[in-house]
């Protein structure tokens, strides 16, 4: 049990004396009252006042770009981040443990998230050195000599999702810091305690006010920041609803630069000549790693009628073989879900489809035990069912059938979302036609493999309601900075 009262403002770990927010694990345990979700800690329920104090600290540290941090040489800023990395590495066990307890991520995936985050920061440093080298170069054109400088933007607010509470938040927070911005960071709703082991390192490795970490209800704490109009950069990975509500609160939206990773409904299109062994393998991890709680998960399978039967047989059998268990148990693939009420929500999606004519085709599909939901393969899903378009963000796999390639194309172009998609098939001319049709519809087209974000050095973005701006190591550095031209006439 971690009772956390500390939060970070202006280089101080302040102690909160007010109400606390209990942190419940998705893992159920036996207690004197029966079987219930284990309370594993609590975090401060700060108010708008503390949140605005964090803002003042950030504004002061930035000081219109004249503060020590934004005016520091890049090499020196990198040294601060490298010191942080040393301290962060020492907290691997504590953070990995909390990833398992707080969000139910398997041990292997929790370790991967931690290590991947370290790699991402290291790569960001490498990319910054490169950017610094190239952007300080002089260019000469039409009688003008110019140097294009990269300058910070101001105060950044960074918020990430519960499914990658470390990796995704740090993928915006560190580029923001490295480019010289001052940051306010509000950890995710679940996966919040795991920042506690890093608070001292944040305090010790950065000048006061450069990084401020606040806790509490979003509307109150983050709402106050947005309404102040003093947030210059908004880095948010979460839902469309959350992002638009917060953006709307900013009194000068034209002054707010946003980078957003939002909802997705990534389809896999499985053609009649697809290699079914590979397709099933990729679709299992694509739909179900971390119980389908990845923004990049495959969230609907569109299968050609000629192969739908063999595909469903093999896919359902493979789903039913997946082992549920606790995150720390070796070989486990399915773990408890952290969102309260999630099993009811998923049940509702399945019931809606079933009431309109679909079936759960795998034997174990939809069985609920505490916060476990055994993956349900639902077929045939049609356009009138919620599962056809709604992002389930969990272990329900809608399967739709198509006869003509054009039907699959239409599904994608008519979708509200456009993050990624996967194409499974062998005929390169046919695949080429799909690629042409989709190149302006999604951020990434995966051929004969599942959707995924990595490697983190690749651009990560999306179209339509799925994203705004591009993240990745090098792109993020551009997002969190602005180019200033220093130009002089040479003739």
Contacting residues toward ligand G3H, per CB under 6 A = 163-164, 168, 294-296, 452-454
Closest distance to ligand G3H from the beta carbon of 62 (Å): 28
The CA-based dihedral angle spanning residues 247, 248, 249, 251, taken in that order and rounded to the nearest 10 degrees? 100
Measured from the CB atom, the residue of 192 and 385 that comes closer to ligand G3H is 192
| Positions of E strands within 229-275 | 233-237, 257-261, 266-270
**Whole-angstrom Cα distance, residue 418 to residue 267?**
10
Closest distance to ligand G3H from the beta carbon of 120 (Å): 11
Measured from the CB atom, the residue of 354 and 449 that comes closer to ligand G3H is 449
Closest distance to ligand G3H from the beta carbon of 103 (Å): 12
Closest distance to ligand G3H from the beta carbon of 476 (Å): 13
Pairing mode of beta strands 368-369, 420-424? unpaired
Closest distance to ligand G3H from the beta carbon of 192 (Å): 17
Tokens of 349: 């999606």
Q: How would you class 145 by CB atoms within 10 Å of its CB: exposed for 0-12, middle for 13-18, buried for 19 or more?
A: middle
Closest distance to ligand G3H from the beta carbon of 237 (Å): 7
CB proximity list for 447: less than 8 A, separation 6 or greater? 422, 423, 431
Closest distance to ligand G3H from the beta carbon of 477 (Å): 18
Measured from the CB atom, the residue of 180 and 395 that comes closer to ligand G3H is 395
Distance of CA 336 to the CA centre of its chain: 19
Measured from the CB atom, the residue of 238 and 324 that comes closer to ligand G3H is 238
The CA-based dihedral angle spanning residues 328, 289, 246, 171, taken in that order and rounded to the nearest 10 degrees? 80
Measured from the CB atom, the residue of 80 and 453 that comes closer to ligand G3H is 453
Closest distance to ligand G3H from the beta carbon of 393 (Å): 9
Tokens of 33: 């009252």
Please, what's the b/e burial string for 185-216 (b: 16 or more CB within 10 A of its CB; e: otherwise)?
A: bbbbbbbbbbbbbbeebbbebbebbbbbbbbb
Measured from the CB atom, the residue of 230 and 422 that comes closer to ligand G3H is 422
Tokens of 278: 């590979």
Measured from the CB atom, the residue of 203 and 294 that comes closer to ligand G3H is 294
Measured from the CB atom, the residue of 335 and 452 that comes closer to ligand G3H is 452
Tokens of 450: 């599942």
| CB neighbourhood size of 73 (10 A) | 9
């Amino acid at each position: 049990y971690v009772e956390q009262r500390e939060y970070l403002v202006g280089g101080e770990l302040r102690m909160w004396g007010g109400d606390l927010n209990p942190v419940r694990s998705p893992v159920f345990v036996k207690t004197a009252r029966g079987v219930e979700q284990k309370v594993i800690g609590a975090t401060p329920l700060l108010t708008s006042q503390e949140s605005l104090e964090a803002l003042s600290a950030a504004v002061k540290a930035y000081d219109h770009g004249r503060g020590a941090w934004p005016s520091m040489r890049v090499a020196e800023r990198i040294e601060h981040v490298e010191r942080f990395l040393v301290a962060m590495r020492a907290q691997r066990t504590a953070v990995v443990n909390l990833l398992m307890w707080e969000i139910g991520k398997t041990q292997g995936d929790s370790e991967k998230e931690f290590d991947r985050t370290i790699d991402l920061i290291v790569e960001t440093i490498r990319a910054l050195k490169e950017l610094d080298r190239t952007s300080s170069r002089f260019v000469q054109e039409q009688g003008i000599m110019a140097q294009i400088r990269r300058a910070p933007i101001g105060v950044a607010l960074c918020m990430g999702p519960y499914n990658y509470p470390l990796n995704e938040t740090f993928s915006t927070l560190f580029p923001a810091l490295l480019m010289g911005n001052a940051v306010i960071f509000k950890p995710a709703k679940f996966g919040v305690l795991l920042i506690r082991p890093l608070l001292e390192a944040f305090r010790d490795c950065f000048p006061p006010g450069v990084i401020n970490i606040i806790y509490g209800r979003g509307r109150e704490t983050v709402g106050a920041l947005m309404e102040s109009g003093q947030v210059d950069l908004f880095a948010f990975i979460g839902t469309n609803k959350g992002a638009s509500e917060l953006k709307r609160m900013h009194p000068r939206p034209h002054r707010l630069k946003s980078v957003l990773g939002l909802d997705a409904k990534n389809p896999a299109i499985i053609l009649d000549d697809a290699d079914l062994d590979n397709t099933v393998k990729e679709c299992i991890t694509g739909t179900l790693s971390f119980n389908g709680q990845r923004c990049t998960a495959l969230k609907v399978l569109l299968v050609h009628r000629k192969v739908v039967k063999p595909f469903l047989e093999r896919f359902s059998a493979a789903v039913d073989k997946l082992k549920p268990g606790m995150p720390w148990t070796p070989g486990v693939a399915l773990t408890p879900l952290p969102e309260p009420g999630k099993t009811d929500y998923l049940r509702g999606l399945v019931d809606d489809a079933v009431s309109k004519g679909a079936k759960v085709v795998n034997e174990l599909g939809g069985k609920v035990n505490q916060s476990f939901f055994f993956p349900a393969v639902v077929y045939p899903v049609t356009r009138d069912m919620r599962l056809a378009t709604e992002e389930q963000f969990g272990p329900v796999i809608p399967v739709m059938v198509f006869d003509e390639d054009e039907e699959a194309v239409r599904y994608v172009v008519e979708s509200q979302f456009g993050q990624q998609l996967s194409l499974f098939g062998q005929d390169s001319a046919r695949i080429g036609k799909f690629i042409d049709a989709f190149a302006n519809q999604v951020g990434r087209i995966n051929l004969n493999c599942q959707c995924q974000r990595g490697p983190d050095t690749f651009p990560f973005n999306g179209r339509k309601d799925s994203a705004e701006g591009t993240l990745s190591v090098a792109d993020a550095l551009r997002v969190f900075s602005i180019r200033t031209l220093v130009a002089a006439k040479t003739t």
